[in-house]
Amino acid sequence: MMIKRPQRRGRNFFGMISGAPQMEELFGLLERVARADVSVLVRGETGTGKELVARAIHELSPRQGKAFRAVNCASFNSELLASELFGHVRGAFTGAVKDRRGLFALADGGSVFLDEIAEIPLEVQARLLRVLQEQRFVPVGGTDAVKVDVRLISATNKALRREVEQGRFREDLMYRVRVVPIFLPPLVERQGDIELLVWHFIEEFNAREGMPRRIEGLSEEAFEALQSYGWPGNVRELRNVIEYAFVVGEGEVLAYGDLPPELRGEGPVDSRELERGGGESGRSERQEIVAALRAAGGSREDAASALGISRTTLWRRMKEYGIED
């Protein structure tokens, strides 16, 4: 059986594709928050779209049309991050052969997005606090303060209060950056969005020049695997999986074998014979699956949990042994 694209399309809100009720609530919140010129902290797992949220706030705010600058704070050491944010003067450090403007100067009048703000070293946090308190900073190696007008939007997948308790983040800075906290739900909690995004990315890659195939449908087994996977990397991981399927598979149907190993239940091996596909024999394995399904009243999710395997692995074993629901 081939599964085709449903009629439901969802909403494209500044690049965030969703039809889930909790995301509709989030979009409404972003529209309200954008109006007030306050600092915003976006919390969410990796791959949930934190930078898209930051861009949406900027575009919906009175600062629309001004500069939007973004940086991943985990990508730099202390010295280079200070230079990236505040700029430096010639001779400030080895390699500083000329003056350089930082993100805050380049974004004057607009917004700055600091991703992974919890990774900022403490010495740089003190400089950032001054920007938020006084709207001014001194470039690395400089003596004269530069005045700027910027809105700060930051993001993290860590709890800043816990970072404060463990001495890794300044408490006064935490209160400055999280005037309005916004929480992004993980993909698995967004009702119906896995299917919607699967087809969104299929259409994206169908339209991309140079792709080796065009996909018109999904096999039932592939669809089940996509729906039951945990998506630790959220939307970003889902997009990567669909791109992988376009590259490794053939034909118009996205098949189960086109998916990466982790979606086929072939992740790291554990000690259970069932997960390894072993055991004394296929017959005993089949009996164990049937017993688990009966005990779970036919629920695949409960049976898979009892067996210690993923729903995808259970699905595959049921297909192999001809076990009906």
pLDDT of 279 higher than 50: no
| 15 assigned to some structural domain | no
What's the pLDDT score for residue 174? 97
Domain co-membership, 239 together with 142: no
pLDDT tens readout for residues 17-48 = 999 999 999 999 999 999 999 999 999 999 99
Domain co-membership, 137 together with 42: yes
pLDDT band at 183, cuts 50/70/90?
very high
Query: Where residue 278 sits, what CATH number does that domain have?
Result: 1.10.10
pLDDT tens readout for residues 120-139 = 999 999 999 999 999 999 99
Query: Where residue 109 sits, what CATH number does that domain have?
Result: 3.40.50.300
What's the pLDDT score for residue 300? 80
pLDDT tens readout for residues 83-125 = 999 998 887 777 777 888 999 999 999 999 999 999 999 999 9
Beta carbons within 8 Å of 125's beta carbon, 6+ residues apart: 169, 170, 173
pLDDT of 276 higher than 90: no
> What is residue 233's three-state secondary structure?
coil
What's the pLDDT score for residue 284? 66
Domain co-membership, 49 together with 178: yes
| 241 assigned to some structural domain | yes
User: Last residue of a domain, which of 184, 206, 221?
Assistant: 184
pLDDT of 193 higher than 60: yes
User: Last residue of a domain, which of 184, 207, 235?
Assistant: 184
Domain co-membership, 31 together with 138: yes
What's the pLDDT score for residue 268? 43
What's the pLDDT score for residue 2? 85
pLDDT tens readout for residues 47-85 = 999 999 999 999 999 999 999 999 999 999 998 999 999
| 33 assigned to some structural domain | yes
| 245 assigned to some structural domain | yes
Q: What is the helix (H) or strand (E) element at residue 246, kind and residue range?
A: helix 234-248
Query: Where residue 224 sits, what CATH number does that domain have?
Result: 1.10.8.60
pLDDT of 319 higher than 70: yes
Domain co-membership, 179 together with 198: no
What's the pLDDT score for residue 162? 95
| 208 assigned to some structural domain | yes
Domain co-membership, 97 together with 240: no
Rounded-to-integer distance, Cα 282 and Cα 323, Å: 13
What's the pLDDT score for residue 142? 84
Provide mean pLDDT across the span 318-323. Answer: 77
Domain co-membership, 73 together with 47: yes
pLDDT tens readout for residues 282-291 = 556 777 787 7
What's the pLDDT score for residue 280? 46
Domain co-membership, 283 together with 227: no
Rounded-to-integer distance, Cα 138 and Cα 89, Å: 10
| 95 assigned to some structural domain | yes
Domain co-membership, 141 together with 284: no
β 136-137/151-156 pair status = unpaired
| 16 assigned to some structural domain | no
Q: What percent of the chain has pLDDT over 90?
A: 68
- What range defines the domain where residue 309 resides? 273-321
Nearest to 202 by CA among 241, 242, 234: 242
Domain co-membership, 158 together with 58: yes
Domain co-membership, 77 together with 143: yes
Low-confidence winner among 31-35, 99-103, 226-230, 276-280 (lowest mean pLDDT)? 276-280
Q: How many domains does the chain have?
A: 3
CB of 295 closer than 8 Å to CB of 307: no
User: Last residue of a domain, which of 232, 264, 296?
Assistant: 264
**Is 0.85 topped by the overall pTM?**
no
Q: Give the mean pLDDT of the chain.
A: 89
| 12 assigned to some structural domain | no
What's the pLDDT score for residue 272? 41
Domain co-membership, 260 together with 310: no
